[in-house]
């Protein structure tokens, strides 16, 4: 019987642990602070920012939400980032992606204080991940995937993990994370992408498949073997006339046909998504604790 990996339940376990850490910090007179910056009015980005701000407040964090107009200039945004870098009440900064076209996102990431880069995209944090330096920040989605596997008692050590996708948001960092020595690591990782040949043969050899390719229902039953563990990172809108919104959200995995072959699988929604926000909160608390050392 397929085991459904429930991201909401595991995220709640993370929050129980974080509430204890936050209470301990507040007893020392320090409240972890998270600033989320949104440029423009993209509906999906606005929804993400709202959910992050809501969770920050529920946990009792110092929450700063900056909503800037779509015509904000690069210099104006960099000025706001510089202010947040200097603000001692802010321990974590996240600039919501994607920004409007006039914004150089890479330059904004480089402008962040790496000690406050709770999204884990600053070059210094990428380097720390590659080096296995635990003082760095790992991008939230990969960190959430690792936590899902650990909490679900999936044996990562020695497993063959195939990652579909090579982005800096998921593919590359999850590969680095799972091949590290120690708990939650020691995997043999293959990263596949749009140019990979004989893809089905590669994915069928996997003990764990992580789909982060951004194409609805891309992973079919023929891509996986019986007993596989499937982590579906994709969030894709597909038309659905039966839904009041006119669409529904699906993953990169053909869930209906892949799930019967899987030992464990994440649903979409309700799998990886809740863990991404939980890990953002976890990184913020970590940033606060490290600022006191």
Residues carrying an active site annotation: 52, 96, 119
71-81 b/e (C-beta count within 10 Å ≥ 16 → b)? ebeeeebbebb
Element holding 212 (H helix, E strand)? none
Strand partners, 238: 248
Sorted by sequence, the CB contacts under 8 Å of residue 20 that are 6+ apart come out as none
Q: How far, in Å, CA of 265 to CA of 267, rounded?
A: 7
Contact by Cβ (8 Å): 284, 278: no
Q: Measured between alpha carbons, how far apart are the two ends of the chain, in Å?
A: 47
114-141 b/e (C-beta count within 10 Å ≥ 16 → b)? bbbbbbbbbebbbebbeeeeeebbbbbb
Contact by Cβ (8 Å): 172, 191: yes
Give the position of tokens 């050590």: 157
Length of the chain: 293
């Amino acid at each position: 019987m397929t085991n459904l990996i429930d991201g909401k339940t595991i995220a709640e376990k993370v929050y129980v642990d974080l509430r204890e850490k936050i209470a301990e910090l507040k007893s020392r007179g320090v409240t972890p602070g998270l600033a989320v910056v949104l440029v423009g009015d993209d509906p999906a980005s606005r929804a993400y920012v709202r959910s992050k701000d809501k969770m920050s407040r529920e946990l009792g964090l110092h929450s700063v939400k900056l909503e800037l107009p779509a015509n904000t200039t690069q210099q104006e945004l960099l000025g706001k980032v510089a202010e947040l870098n200097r603000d001692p009440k802010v321990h974590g900064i996240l600039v919501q992606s994607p920004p409007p076209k006039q914004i150089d996102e890479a330059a904004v990431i480089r402008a962040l204080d790496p000690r406050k880069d709770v999204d884990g995209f600053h070059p210094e944090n990428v380097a720390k991940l590659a080096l296995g330096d635990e003082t760095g920040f790992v991008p939230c989605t990969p960190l959430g995937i690792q936590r899902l596997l650990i909490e679900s008692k999936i044996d990562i050590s020695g497993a063959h993990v195939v990652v579909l996708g090579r982005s800096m948001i998921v593919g590359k960092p999850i590969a680095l994370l799972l091949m590290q020595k120690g708990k939650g690591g020691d995997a043999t990782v293959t990263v596949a992408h749009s140019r990979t040949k004989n893809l089905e043969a590669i994915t069928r050899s996997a003990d764990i498949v992580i789909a982060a390719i951004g194409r609805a229902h891309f992973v079919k039953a023929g891509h996986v073997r019986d007993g596989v563990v499937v982590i579906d990172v994709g969030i894709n809108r597909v038309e659905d006339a039966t839904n009041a919104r006119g669409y529904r959200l699906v993953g990169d995995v053909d869930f209906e046909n892949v799930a019967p072959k899987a030992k464990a699988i994440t649903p979409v929604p309700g799998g990886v998504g809740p863990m991404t926000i939980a890990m953002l909160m976890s990184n913020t608390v970590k940033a606060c604790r490290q600022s006191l050392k």
